[in-house]
Structure 1
Amino acid sequence: MSEPRTTVPDPMKESPLMAIDQSLIQTKPVLSAIINTDNTGVLTIDGQEENFTAADPGQLRTQLMTRLFEVAGEHGRPVRVSTMDENGLTGLLISPDRQVEPEAEPEPGNTAPAPTGQPEPAPVPVIEAVPAPVQTAPPDAGKKEATAVVADAAQAPVESAPATRRALRDAESFLSTQAAVQPATTGFRGWLASVGIRVAPSAAEVSERADIAAVSQHWAGTRTIMVANRKGGANKTPTVKNIAATFARHGGGGVLAYDGNPEVGTLGWRTEQGGHNSTVLDVLENADQLLSTEAVSGHMARYVHHQPADKFDVLRSDDSLVGTHVMTGDDVEVIHRVAAKYYRLIVMDSGNVDRGSDWSAMIGQANQLVVPTTTMEDRAEAALLLLKALHERDEHAAKLAENAVVIVSEWQPGETAVAERIADGFRPYVREVVTVPFDPALKSGRIVHDALTKASRRAWLRATAAVARGL
């Protein structure tokens, strides 16, 4: 059955709402509409292209629909159009009286057989033979009496067996566990839904909703994600920032990005600073107070730097020009114990030095390993060597390596093929590999998640969902 259908708003008086008769649709005209992300579109009518430009997506779609209504009016009957946008393909039926409805999709398994030209044979009724109970006549009975005994037995009623009782604990609930499907909200389908035409979401939107659901879940206890690559410039800091932002924006906060670099890390440079200069050293100095039973969540605000737009906090590394403190494994254990008390999710930037006790402590605390790299070969090689080293380290580290998520970011524009080649090289050895397109907003300066391109934000959501599936 086709979806419920309505009219597109029109200041002119419209005809009464009637279902579009699909039998009136013919093979001509052949209509297709392409909607681009730069608010341009192309309508093709029997091979002839018409170009459209608008100030925003809604205006562009309105222009296209107005022209399609004109085409239907010129032919005096409904027409079919295939529309393509960033969310996929949608088939629509357009009538001259400005009615629109989604094209009905055939129900699976309900395809009629092709005609053969011969009448189908009538079905042959099947009669099941029910054996009658047989009783043996007495030896001295005559033939007539034996026949009567058999006839009486055949006419005797047979009692049905009582239904098998089952335990109440096995009874199925009457409540439905299936959630209603929300109509489309993005792309051309979303625009149709906004004007009252209920259209199912595209495959792309269904996939995005699944990723959001994965990222939005909460886990019992704190989960720790370690972002590691022994080579500098491997995109560790942007990876930490975007994973933390994606989790926090969809999961309701409670996310800490911790710069565990033993030297001066860059996470503090590329995120917003709060109204203080606190770093990880201040947390170490006040750890006893922060871990006491009297401490409350507000106390932690003195030491972390909140990101208002992205809804997570940053714990900066020591950035003192004359600092002499060297982070140890014991320091990391204390920091993690404090962080776990106040946050549900910790994303750690591990820095570039992987031979100290602090790095080993971060590995020990990690529930999920993320290995970022770029399309530069030395960064990818460093990522591979890290995974090999972890696999030989101990059982916990080996499991982290096997369950790792590798994120390959394009270092320059137009490197999609290179990114896929590197990703294919990692796929046989880790749980998931995700590629991220080039985005100039990640090259330098403070990273603002909303400033990323739509394709970049979608890729980081996909990458974060991959991480979430390992927690």
Structure 2
Amino acid sequence: MRTEPVHFSDEDPNPGSAAAEDHPVAEAPRPVGQASAARRTSFITDSTDPKEHFSGWRALLARWGLTIKPSPAQVEHDERIRLVSRHWAGCRTIAIVNGKGGVGKTLTTAMLSAVFGRYGGGNVLAWDNNDTRGTLGWRTEAGLYDTTIRDLLPAASDLLSPAAGVSDITRYVHHQSADRYDVLRSNPELLATDQRLTSAEFEQLMRVAARYYRLVVFDSGNDESADRWLSMVDHSTQLVIPTLTAPESAESAALLLEALEARDERSRDLARNAIVVVTQSEPARPAELRDIILGFEDSVRDVVTIPFDPVLKRGPLRFDDLRSPTREAWIRAAAAAAAGLGGRP
């Protein structure tokens, strides 16, 4: 049988393409559901954005099906709440520092802890890191057990063991039932010589805190040369520097910032990223307030003012007891601090 030679035209770049059209090669079957999933829209909606929140008369109208666009102030409030509600991977720390006593370190510690605890779902520790009669325990709610940091220290190894349970820390801290944070107290009845912590002891306590809490807020003492003070700064993610509307308080804050700038590179970064919180200690001192704000705004990341509120001067520190403008100011201060927590744990 004679077979004629097959000649391909120069115009046909793909010999055999006609045969391929007549006898297409079967494609490998796709996994079940792959083709349909690629074509359709998922029934699952993205829930990463929080639901819009309405308050006051807007909430009332929303119940009737009438949605009113939130005001710019409400939008800013909601963004601040989103910031303070955020959970980072790894424990974060905020140090409340000023070398002068009576400038609002304890109230700043309590109010920031309350904001982060309430809106972030707890797991916040306010740590009284003070050698000399820290008063955080005096102005906060007592827990079930009359314990302080001196009781926690010998139990640290047990709390860090694999057999320890998440509730074991309860014996050593004082839970704030409404504000949803815990307080690690110092013992104000002891002299400073009986309360000093070495750097190694601080490190051990910090490991315990990092295991049981997502955020630690330090209420610091006034001795900036103490081992526990320096160790606190070295473990801090964010510095918050409180001052009253008084020249002495502001000068002490400014001197601390200068000292941190000169200490080392990490301390310099902390100082430049710090938040200054100016609490108005009197009903109206606008000139002093303006001068303090102008004096700090070029050297730190943010300056937040807290309006005068008599609740802050004495007695228990509870977020619900504050006036509405004061609560909103502390939310703003916490949001400013939260914006700096995204760096190193």
Shorter-chain TM range is: 0.7 to 0.9
Counterpart selection for 2:183 from 311, 314, 323: 314
Match of 1:336 in 2: 206
CA positional deviation for 1:272: 0.4
The Cα offsets for residues 47-84 of structure 1, whole Å up to 9 and x where unpaired, read as: xxxxxxxxxxxxxxxxxxxxxxxxxxxxxxxxxxxxxx
Match of 1:278 in 2: 147
Match of 1:204 in 2: 73
* Aligned 8 A contact 1:408 1:433 in 2: yes
Relative to structure 1, the CA distance from residue 291 to residue 424 in structure 2 (aligned partners, 3 Å threshold; closer, same or farther) is: same
SS of 1:434's equivalent? Answer: strand
Deviates more, 1:327-336 or 1:253-262: 327-336
Match of 2:303 in 1: 433
* Aligned 8 A contact 1:215 1:250 in 2: yes
Whole-Å separation in 1 of the counterparts to 2:202 and 2:280: 32
1:346 matched to 2:213? The reply is no
Whole-Å separation in 2 of the counterparts to 1:441 and 1:214: 26
* Aligned 8 A contact 1:227 1:371 in 2: yes
User: Runs of 5+ in structure 2 lacking a partner?
Assistant: 1-37
Supply the AA of the counterpart residue of 1:258: W
Match of 1:409 in 2: 279
Relative to structure 1, the CA distance from residue 444 to residue 249 in structure 2 (aligned partners, 3 Å threshold; closer, same or farther) is: same
Supply the AA of the counterpart residue of 1:425: G
Relative to structure 1, the CA distance from residue 202 to residue 385 in structure 2 (aligned partners, 3 Å threshold; closer, same or farther) is: same
1:355 matched to 2:229? The reply is no
SS of 1:240's equivalent? Answer: helix
SS of 1:372's equivalent? Answer: strand
Whole-Å separation in 2 of the counterparts to 1:458 and 1:295: 38
1:461 matched to 2:307? The reply is no
CA positional deviation for 1:319: 2.6
1:375 matched to 2:245? The reply is yes
> Which of structures 1 and 2 has the bigger CA Rg?
1
The Cα offsets for residues 94-147 of structure 1, whole Å up to 9 and x where unpaired, read as: xxxxxxxxxxxxxxxxxxxxxxxxxxxxxxxxxxxxxxxxxxxxxxxxxxxxxx
The Cα offsets for residues 296-334 of structure 1, whole Å up to 9 and x where unpaired, read as: 111110000000001110000123346724222222111
| Matching of residues 77-92 of structure 1 within 5 Å | none
Match of 2:94 in 1: 225
CA positional deviation for 1:208: 0.3
Whole-Å separation in 1 of the counterparts to 2:234 and 2:190: 30
SS of 1:387's equivalent? Answer: helix
Counterpart selection for 2:312 from 442, 446, 451: 442
Deviates more, 1:430-439 or 1:189-198: 189-198
Relative to structure 1, the CA distance from residue 291 to residue 433 in structure 2 (aligned partners, 3 Å threshold; closer, same or farther) is: same
Whole-Å separation in 1 of the counterparts to 2:338 and 2:200: 28
* Aligned 8 A contact 1:242 1:460 in 2: yes
Counterpart selection for 2:85 from 207, 211, 216: 216
SS of 2:300's equivalent? Answer: coil
Whole-Å separation in 2 of the counterparts to 1:426 and 1:202: 30
Relative to structure 1, the CA distance from residue 334 to residue 185 in structure 2 (aligned partners, 3 Å threshold; closer, same or farther) is: same
| Matching of residues 175-214 of structure 1 within 5 Å | 185-214=54-83
| Matching of residues 61-72 of structure 1 within 5 Å | none
Relative to structure 1, the CA distance from residue 261 to residue 184 in structure 2 (aligned partners, 3 Å threshold; closer, same or farther) is: closer
Relative to structure 1, the CA distance from residue 417 to residue 214 in structure 2 (aligned partners, 3 Å threshold; closer, same or farther) is: farther
Supply the AA of the counterpart residue of 2:288: V
| Matching of residues 386-405 of structure 1 within 5 Å | 386-405=256-275
* Aligned 8 A contact 2:246 2:288 in 1: no
* Aligned 8 A contact 1:390 1:397 in 2: yes
Match of 1:249 in 2: 118
Supply the AA of the counterpart residue of 2:92: R
SS of 1:311's equivalent? Answer: coil
Relative to structure 1, the CA distance from residue 174 to residue 424 in structure 2 (aligned partners, 3 Å threshold; closer, same or farther) is: farther
* TM-score normalised by L of structure 1: 0.61
Supply the AA of the counterpart residue of 2:262: E
Whole-Å separation in 2 of the counterparts to 1:285 and 1:179: 43
Whole-Å separation in 2 of the counterparts to 1:439 and 1:421: 21
Whole-Å separation in 2 of the counterparts to 1:344 and 1:181: 21
Supply the AA of the counterpart residue of 1:396: R
User: Runs of 5+ in structure 1 lacking a partner?
Assistant: 1-170
Deviates more, 1:317-326 or 1:443-452: 317-326
Whole-Å separation in 2 of the counterparts to 1:195 and 1:357: 60
SS of 1:373's equivalent? Answer: strand
Whole-Å separation in 2 of the counterparts to 1:353 and 1:374: 19
SS of 1:239's equivalent? Answer: helix
Whole-Å separation in 2 of the counterparts to 1:291 and 1:207: 41
More helix by share: 2
* TM-score normalised by L of structure 2: 0.82
Whole-Å separation in 2 of the counterparts to 1:214 and 1:405: 15
| Matching of residues 23-62 of structure 1 within 5 Å | none
Deviates more, 1:194-203 or 1:331-340: 194-203
| Matching of residues 95-174 of structure 1 within 5 Å | none
Supply the AA of the counterpart residue of 2:254: L
* Aligned 8 A contact 1:410 1:416 in 2: no
Whole-Å separation in 2 of the counterparts to 1:177 and 1:325: 51
Supply the AA of the counterpart residue of 2:331: L
SS of 1:286's equivalent? Answer: helix
CA positional deviation for 1:448: 1.2
SS of 1:245's equivalent? Answer: helix
Whole-Å separation in 2 of the counterparts to 1:181 and 1:224: 25
CA positional deviation for 1:292: 1.1
Task: Tell me the C-alpha RMSD between the 2 structures.
Answer: 2.1
SS of 2:194's equivalent? Answer: coil
Whole-Å separation in 2 of the counterparts to 1:465 and 1:402: 17
Higher relative contact order (CA 8 A, sep 6+): 2
